[in-house]
């Protein structure tokens, strides 16, 4: 799966509309989960693997590369961490957390 780059054809848009590139990136398995987790602080590869519970190292490594190449995360001395932009993105999706709790009531 190649990196979705705004301005180039991506899943959902031949012209590469930024939102579609972003949704392509985030719509891959574990991508949002990784961002979600990293907001609580930098994490090592192994800890991310533990956190994700069932992600394969292959997939984790791929997602990390993609997120790095998309300027959302970076490697620091403490492990993988959100960039400033990554934090911005997290803050945009953060409201999903409390909304999800309400949404969950449907399933009872």
Residues found near a copy of itself in the complex (CB under 8 A)? 5-7, 11-14, 18-23, 26-33, 36, 52-54, 70-71, 85, 88-89, 92-93, 95-97, 99-101, 103-104, 106-108
CB of 54 to a copy of itself, least distance (A): 7
For 7-22, the DSSP string reads: TS-BTTBTT--HHHHH
Residue (of 48, 13, 10) closest to 28 by Cα position: 10
Nearer to DNA, 47 or 87 (CB): 47
For 73-95, the DSSP string reads: EEEETTEEEE-HHHHHHHHHHTH
Nearer to a copy of itself, 58 or 77 (CB): 58
Which one of 8, 9, 41, 46 is in contact with DNA (CB under 7 A)?
A: 46
Of 15-44, binders to DNA (CB under 7 A) are 28-30, 44
Considering CB distances under 5 to 8 angstroms, the limit depending on partner class, which of a copy of itself, DNA, none binds residue 101? a copy of itself
Instruction: Kindly give, in sequence order, each residue whose CB lies less than 8 Å from that of residue 49, ignoring residues fewer than 6 positions away.
Output: 55, 57, 60
Q: Does residue 1 bind DNA (CB under 7 A)?
A: yes
How many angstroms separate the CA atoms of 10 and 6, rounded?
8
């Amino acid at each position: 799966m190649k990196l979705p780059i705004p301005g180039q054809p991506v899943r959902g848009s031949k012209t590469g509309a930024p939102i579609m590139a972003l949704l392509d990136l985030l719509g891959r398995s574990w991508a949002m989960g990784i961002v979600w987790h990293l907001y609580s602080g930098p994490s090592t590869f192994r800890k991310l693997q533990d956190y994700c519970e069932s992600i394969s190292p292959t997939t984790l490594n791929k997602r990390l590369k993609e997120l790095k190449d998309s300027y959302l995360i970076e490697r620091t001395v403490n492990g993988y961490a959100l960039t400033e932009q990554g934090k911005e993105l997290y803050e945009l999706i953060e409201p999903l957390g409390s909304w999800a709790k309400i949404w969950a009531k449907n399933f009872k």
